[in-house]
Amino acid sequence: MGMEPSEQIRRWETAKEHREAAQQLLMNGLFQASVSRSYYACFHAMWIAVGDPPLGHWKHAGLMKTFCFGKWLTPPVLPASLAVIYKKILTLYDLRLDADYRAVSLDQDKAKEALDTANQIHAMVVQHKNL
């Protein structure tokens, strides 16, 4: 499940752009849009971490579980040690559903929480994938 270097670069640029957009949207009071971009900043970063999907495309739940299974880390870690980050990712996913599908109003605190999760995922990927 490796990834071509050119795709890794492309996905990393996309992840960083989504994270920057989330920050800008947060600062401008566009909280739902900020949450959505924070989620996709995580999605692309997690994809880089675990590599290409086994069946041609990642489903959201599968990517989150694979990321938090911990085998992409060097050395691999037990999933239990990633339980806190898994909970944060699931919370972010639910917030993204609120923002993109349920049209639920989100506040600044939720948008900050989402961006904090994106920042944490990005830091993990940078550290372990030498980006």
**From first to last of its 131 residues, what are the pLDDT tens digits of the chain?**
568 889 899 999 999 999 999 999 999 999 999 999 999 999 999 999 999 888 888 999 999 999 999 988 888 888 888 999 999 999 999 999 999 999 999 999 999 999 999 999 999 999 988 77
Residue 50 belongs to domain with CATH number: 1.20.120.330
Model confidence, pTM: 0.93
Total domains, the chain: 1
* Domain span including residue 51: 5-129
Structure tokens at 23: 């920050």
Instruction: Please state the φ and ψ torsions of residue 55, each to the nearest 5 degrees.
Output: -115, 20
Check if the beta carbon of residue 113 is closer than 8 Å to that of residue 93. Answer: no
